[in-house]
Amino acid sequence: MFSPRNLAFSTLLAIAAIPLLAQTAPAPAATRTLVRAGHLLDVKTGKLLDSQTIVVVGETIQSIAPSAQVQAGPTDTVIGLGALTVLPGLLDVHTHLTMDTNFDPYHELTMTNAKEAITGVVNARTTLLAGFTTVRNVGASGYTDVDLRDAINSGQIAGPHMLVSGPALSITGGHCDENLLPFQYHVVGDGVADGISAVQHQVRQNIKYGADLIKICATGGVLSKGDDPQASQYTLEEMRAIVADAHRLGRKVAAHAHGAQGILWASEAGVDSIEHGSYINDEAIAEMKKNGTYLVPTLYLEDWMLEKGNLPPFYHQKMVDIIGVAKGNIKRAMQVGVKIALGTDAAVYPHGLNAHELDVYVNQLGMTPLAALQSATLNAADLMGLSAKNGSLEPGKWADIIAVDKNPLDDVRVLQNVKFVMKAGVVYKNETK
């Protein structure tokens, strides 16, 4: 017999059953992308595998198997790369995406943070489309590289994965200070700090405002007025204080260093990488090997400068002096086993030409193609602390995938013309269609 009480009871039973029905409903299958490669290069071993399929789910690689064993489902997206050779996206651990290749002093002095940010948007896309899916940005004014990284991570703009340093730390009048204007303007670079307490404060401030790593100028540089690339700048004690704070707070330290004394002290202080290393000597090499310090050569820029550079006189002679010695010194460091990670100093030459650095390592310094490629994949990922997600094509790692016409171990210059770029499961370039 029907009654209001029976209706209420039935309604309560129906409501109570809703969660049970929801819990037993099958979850929708994850959408897959099948990247079918004619060849796949294992950068750990140098082995080339034919006819492989990389299964991508979300931003990561789910599996890799012979194509005959991977059948496409009705909801799968299939990307056929024909006979191309697939390998992991490349890494460049020394870039300046928010800077451009113009060293006219007036241009430098009229650069604003807003202009740097706009420049960064353009250069980030250019770098990604060149096959470099991850970079370290080591030096930018006003934390513009922090904002660039965050805009990429949010999907607002296209660009590589980025670790960023914010302003580089410098002594007063050093390579990373602003030295073009006279005293009356009282202009000081964003990262200038002198003395132990001041450098500790600057490290903490950089981290407060979003830095993933700390960049310091341990010696003078080339593209700066009034300093000497061979002269050490920060003292050993100051660098030890920088490294202690950075490491305690979970950040690595990259040291711009051309001169042998600065290289030696920076490695002794515990920095994670030496950038440039132009005047490296046997004592500094031995210290770096003992400490496991990475060397980040930036050598293609020298070739570009010889051919197309147009520097003011107070930069030009320093560049000429370094070009005369850097490759020979760095070749010696490579030959005795100093760890190498690829870096380019992109901005000193045009962005997007990053892969030319590999050509220098192989065809000028005698590195094997596999070792050179590992400097831009496994080694660079290790230096950046990203080995769990980057540097090789393996299940569980980011789906950062590039493709070129042939095996780069046969001709490393093929990496200068990348045909396909996927970063974190998203295709940004596909010239195979």
Q: Given the residues 147, 177, 212, 215, select the one marked as catalytic.
A: 215
Q: Is 345 a catalytic residue?
A: yes
Other C-beta atoms lying within 10 Å of the C-beta of residue 271: 30
Q: Contacts from 64-69 at CB under 8 Å and sequence distance 24+? A: 64/40, 64/393, 64/394, 64/395, 67/36
Among residues 33, 164, 94, the alpha carbon closest in space to that of 357 is found at 94
239, 243, 246, 247 alpha-carbon torsion, rounded to 10° = 180
Q: Given the residues 245, 303, 345, 359, select the one marked as catalytic.
A: 345
Indicate the helix (H) or strand (E) that contains 232.
none
CA atoms of 128 and 89, how far apart (whole Å): 9
Distance from the first to the final alpha carbon of the chain: 70
CA atoms of 88 and 377, how far apart (whole Å): 7
Among residues 133, 38, 131, the alpha carbon closest in space to that of 81 is found at 38
CA atoms of 59 and 155, how far apart (whole Å): 13
Q: Is 331 a catalytic residue?
A: no
Instruction: Say which residues have a Cβ less than 8 Å from residue 156's Cβ, sequence separation at least 6.
Output: none
**Which residue bears the tokens 């404060």?**
201
Distances (CA, A) of 140 to 116, 253, 359, 375: 8, 15, 27, 24
**Which residues form the catalytic set?**
215, 345
